[in-house]
């Protein structure tokens, strides 16, 4: 039997809904690591299904690194302004901008394959797939520019 504490712990770690976390833990027989792997796989499937939707909203975030010698401007796209205005969506955009400042990817393809600086166990592509799963909308990185002195 899966406990509420296990579900809450998985939810806190992934940021996904309680129901998604419960289903994953049930399928994984209570094994947290297997549940996380199932959630990642599910995130990829959901993102693929939403791949043809129109991106009509999003946010532009700016990140200036300490010392003010590196800066990033990032366009992070979604389908509706309802999601674009969500503070958690904006936080993901800011985290990606910070990652770009630190890792200096050459393009979006390289960015998506890089391990996320805040959690080396997941790639930026996984972070975006989790965002799609969480908000139920197609989400992707539009353009980004990194400046450095």
The CATH number covering residue 36 comes to: 1.10.8.10
72 and 129 both lie in a single domain: yes
**Residues 124 and 69 both lie in one domain:** yes
Domain shared by 70 and 129, yes or no = yes
| pLDDT given at position 84 | 96
The domain of 91 spans 57-148
Q: How many domains is the chain built from?
A: 2
Are both 24 and 43 inside the same structural domain? yes
Do 81 and 126 fall into the same domain? yes
Closest CA relative to residue 39, chosen from 137, 141, 127, 140: 127
Distance CA 45, CA 43 (A): 5
Q: What is this structure's pTM?
A: 0.73
Q: What is the pLDDT along the chain (149 residues), one digit of tens a residue?
A: 788 888 888 888 777 778 888 888 888 888 888 888 888 777 767 666 666 777 889 999 999 999 999 999 999 999 999 999 999 999 999 999 999 999 999 999 999 999 999 999 889 999 998 898 888 888 999 999 999 99
**Same domain, yes or no, for 31 and 74?**
no
Reported residue count of the chain is: 149
């Amino acid at each position: 039997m899966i406990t509420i504490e296990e579900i809450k712990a998985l939810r806190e770690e992934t940021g996904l809904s309680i129901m998604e976390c419960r289903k994953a833990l049930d399928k994984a027989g209570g094994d947290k690591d297997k549940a996380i792997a199932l959630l990642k796989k599910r995130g990829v499937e959901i993102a693929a299904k939403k791949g043809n939707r129109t991106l009509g909203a999003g946010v532009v975030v700016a990140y200036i690194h300490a010392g003010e010698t590196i800066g990033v401007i990032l366009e992070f796209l979604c389908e509706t302004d309802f999601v674009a205005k969500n503070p958690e969506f904006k936080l993901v955009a800011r985290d990606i901008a910070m990652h770009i400042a630190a890792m200096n990817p050459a393009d979006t393809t390289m960015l998506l394959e890089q391990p996320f600086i805040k959690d080396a166990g997941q790639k930026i592509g996984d972070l975006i797939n989790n965002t799609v799963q969480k908000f139920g909308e197609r989400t992707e990185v539009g353009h980004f520019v990194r400046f450095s002195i």
